[in-house]
Structure 1
């Protein structure tokens, strides 16, 4: 029982300070023993009771409510919350030679920039380093464990009768422990982390190839947009020439105003197409900058690929590409490593149900008040541990690990089918792109010749403006189709290389890591 305030009649129990809290501490000889707490403790207890009654929900944080007052009201963060955050995305500085060549970056330059700045590759790299550290930590279980200890003690004993006694001791000790045998559990744990490390390394390789492919796709999209703009500018110039020819024929009385208006309409349509393509070019350049890990408004330009396409470059059969993908695709290799990791985990869990044999030993020295007086003790033991009954937990752990191993094998089979589909689609897309390139070249030659003939006939007065505009439209379409066919050929080639795991950026000439990327 606790009673606050003064004792009855303003008095206090004998030997206790005035004021405070009376505490019933139990029975002593049939009577309750009363102890009075100091006044400061009484005030603290009273303040705690008042504070508990005045608590608010939700509690405040950094001067603002911890949550919004209603479901439809957004939460208002503290003003200096962003300034207080110490986290920031790491920035990899670009080499000065790349910055100086920002007007003619090659595809290899853009891939290099992307791999330096990509958050995906950096995160995958750090995951692999973490997995390597976890494997190294698990490997340490092969070694004995040695612990050193020290203690300093002071003990005081107050007996009910007699004088108080005080002792001081200090000492130091060394302990050794080593696992001798555990039915393969330790080896399975090490193998589990080893396969997890392989999976993380393969996924880092896959992240590098994914980033490279994204840059290549954005690069050829930008190149295609630039080529389409150039083709449309040629169409605009030809439309201007056709319009001038129509006006000259009308001035000579050989054409009507309808011919001039039709030619003027074709010129305006070509100019509108140029305006649209100029905006599209800026958009694709921003997309390329983003894929390379740069701000979208970065001012740069690229070196265009060669006009000659090695359309006969791919001569292998689809079966050869499928075999290559099964052997080299990093994503598939990671799935295999995860399946082996799950199998090793099953072995580890099974071993947990078997006995373990360990060696334990140690030595200790304890000093007393007199430094010359001490005790030495030594111990050594063989420890056999057998998990006789765990409430059936181990059986269910084995069931869980076995199911996870079967699930990993199923995911591996699904990954193999997905990779085969990627290769199949990529191969056939590339073969289609090859045929489109050849066909578009023939179409371009015939459309160019047709436009030349139609333009000559119109200027000589034997052709109609409709024939001229039809030939101009066919030439415009042929140019656009040629640009798209070339772009699709490059993209399909990159996609096929990505599907087979063949996108590998060049290593540094000296094979060394960049500054700041040393091993642990």
Structure 2
């Protein structure tokens, strides 16, 4: 019996072993599949594409790949300014060279191209296709069929005849996106102009402080020399000299700190203009004797203007148009679509005369059930429209608050600057009188240094109030939707 079994295995069994092997392999893979949940053949090789080779760095080490070639950024080039620049000139240069404006402009151009994509849906679609094949087969009786060489060329035209407003809604959505990109571009221009203005007045303010500290150093040096002369003549003690030296050292420390701040502000201004940080920019100095311009329009008219012309508010309003178009587009998705198609072609086979074919057809698509996809999408679009309306109200309220606060800050800073002007004149007169008294022994060194410190503080306050007023005026102009400071020193010319 055992020999019979052996003969069967050697005779019949060996012919069936591939099937047994595949069956056993399939069972093993099926058992493994219960835990791995992968296709059976996918588990034969663990990582055929060597994806783990991309993660050779151990845990806690930075990842890098020598083959990686990322696009390189283009650093800005230097620019030489031949004369001191005004704020208007620097703003115009920054609007053309700051990367933010370029990004916004490219986005605007992309949205314009998107409108062209939506417009193209109104035109027919034409395509040319060509296929070539070589075929040979055998019949079940063992006869070989001759080789068949064929080539087919087809020209097709298709056009949507009726879509119940789908294409119109898509066009309106693309147009609304163009509006949004346009207002975002205007907002980018306004923000760049605001940044340049802030950096400009920050820099010229610090430069004015440096000049004020330099004047303080000269005044303290003169006081120190006077104290030394009086000490030599016996009219003052060493305490006066030491006090004068301390005041001079403090003034020099303030001058050094302000000079370092100037260099930092110069880098910030250059960067906002799209230039390297070390690019020098000569500036027209701050006129510390001129008050910032007054605001002639009323606060109510400024708020009204901002709610209509601020690019952020305009973009929020355009988003409502986009959401409405999206709602109409989603509603049109559930309506029938009628299309027409025309095609003609030729087929060449084994050198025989070509066969011709043509077809004219109409296609009607009537959506019946989408698993509630369309209904939920319409509900989503309606909610998004309401959200866009709420966002518009929120943006308008925020801009109105910004205008109100900037207006109050500008008026307060301007009034403070006017008071600082009087304080500087009073401090200058007081210092001159005390210095004269000190020379004849009617005043002390402490009184002289106090008067000098009072003048320095008054100069600092005047410069800060003037620059603050200009910066807040720029903030107000930005909230009103203006690019840069208003012309002619007031806001009336920019209001309709």
- Pair in the same fold by TM > 0.5: yes
Alignment partner of 1:423 is 2:403: yes
State the match for 1:243 in structure 2: 224
- The aligned residue for residue 58 of structure 2 is 69
Q: Is the 8 A contact 1:144 1:178 kept in 2?
A: yes
Residue 129 (structure 2) pairs with residue 149 (structure 1): yes
> How far has the Cα of 1:223 moved from its partner?
0.6
Structure with bigger strand share is 1
Q: What is the alpha-carbon distance in structure 1 between the residues aligned to residue 360 and residue 484 of structure 2?
A: 56
* Equivalent runs, 1:284-299 vs 2, <5 Å: 284-299=265-280
Aligned partner (choices 459, 463, 485) of residue 479 of structure 1:
459
Shift of 1:420: 1.3
1:345 to 298, 320, 326: 326
CA distance in 2 between partners of 1:191 and 1:432 (Å): 46
Which residue number in structure 2 is paired with residue 125 of structure 1? Answer: 105
Partner of 1:52: 45
C-alpha displacement at 1:378, in angstroms? 2.5
Question: What's the CA shift for 1:307?
Answer: 4.9
Q: 1:76 to 1:384 in 2, by over 3 A?
A: closer
Q: Secondary structure at 1:59's aligned position in 2?
A: helix
Give the paired residue count.
456
Indicate conservation of the 8 Å contact 1:246/1:259, yes or no.
yes
Task: Tell me, in whole angstroms, the C-alpha distance in 1 between the residues paired with 2:416 and 2:325.
Answer: 50
Residues 193-233 of structure 1, C-alpha deviation per residue, up to 9 Å, x if partnerless?
A: 11111111211121111111111111111111110010011
Distance in 1 of aligned mates of 2:116 and 2:259: 55
The residue aligned with 1:321 is 302
Q: 1:167 to 1:302 in 2, by over 3 A?
A: same
CA distance in 1, matches of 2:195, 2:148: 74
Taking the TM superposition and a 5 Å limit, the aligned residue runs for 1:93-492 are 93=77, 98-101=79-82, 104-161=84-141, 163-165=143-145, 166-307=147-288, 309=290, 311-372=292-353, 374-492=354-472
Q: How much has 1:320 moved relative to structure 2?
A: 1.6
Compare 145-154 and 468-477 and name the one that shifted more. 145-154
TM-score (norm: length of structure 2): 0.84
RMSD after superposition: 3.0
Aligned partners of 1:58 and 1:67 also within 8 Å: no
Contact 1:185 1:352 survives alignment (8 Å):
yes
Using the TM superposition, give the Cα deviation of residue 390 of structure 1 relative to its aligned residue in structure 2, in angstroms: 1.1
Distance 1:133 1:49, change over 3 A: closer
C-alpha distance in 2 between matches for 1:505 and 1:137: 38
What is the rounded CA distance, in whole Å, between the counterparts of 1:474 and 1:193 in structure 2? Answer: 63
Distance 2:432 2:343 in 1: 100
Aligned to 1:30: none
CA contact (8 A) 1:322 1:423 kept: yes
- Unaligned stretches of 5+ in structure 1? 1-7, 15-21, 27-47, 507-520
Contact 2:208–2:286 under 8 Å retained in 1 = no
Pair 307,462 (structure 1): closer, same or farther in 2 beyond 3 Å:
closer
Which residue does the alignment assign to 1:85? Answer: 69
1:238-260, CA deviations, whole angstroms, 9 ceiling, x for partnerless residues?
Answer: 11111222222222222222222
- Post-superposition offset of 1:187: 0.3
1:471 match: secondary structure: helix
Structure 1 pair 472/504, CA: closer, same or farther in 2 (3 Å)?
closer
- C-alpha separation in 2, matches of 1:169 and 1:55: 38
* More deviation, 405-414/290-299: 290-299
Supply the distance in 1 between the matched residues of 2:119 and 2:87 (Cα, whole angstroms). 43
What's the CA shift string for 1:155-206, capped at 9, x where partnerless?
A: 3231112632232322222222111222211100110011111111211121
Say which is worse superposed, 447-456 or 253-262, in terms of deviation.
253-262
Give 1 or 2: higher helix fraction.
2
2:161 aligned counterpart, secondary structure: strand
Match of 1:510 in 2: none
Give the Cα separation in 2 of the matches to 1:146 and 1:309.
70
Does the aligned pair in 2 maintain the 1:67–1:75 contact within 8 Å?
no
CA 1:100 to 1:49, structure 2 compared with 1: closer, same or farther past 3 Å? closer
For 1:423 and 1:238, the matched residues in 2 are separated by 43
Q: Distance in 1 between matches of 2:297 and 2:88?
A: 25
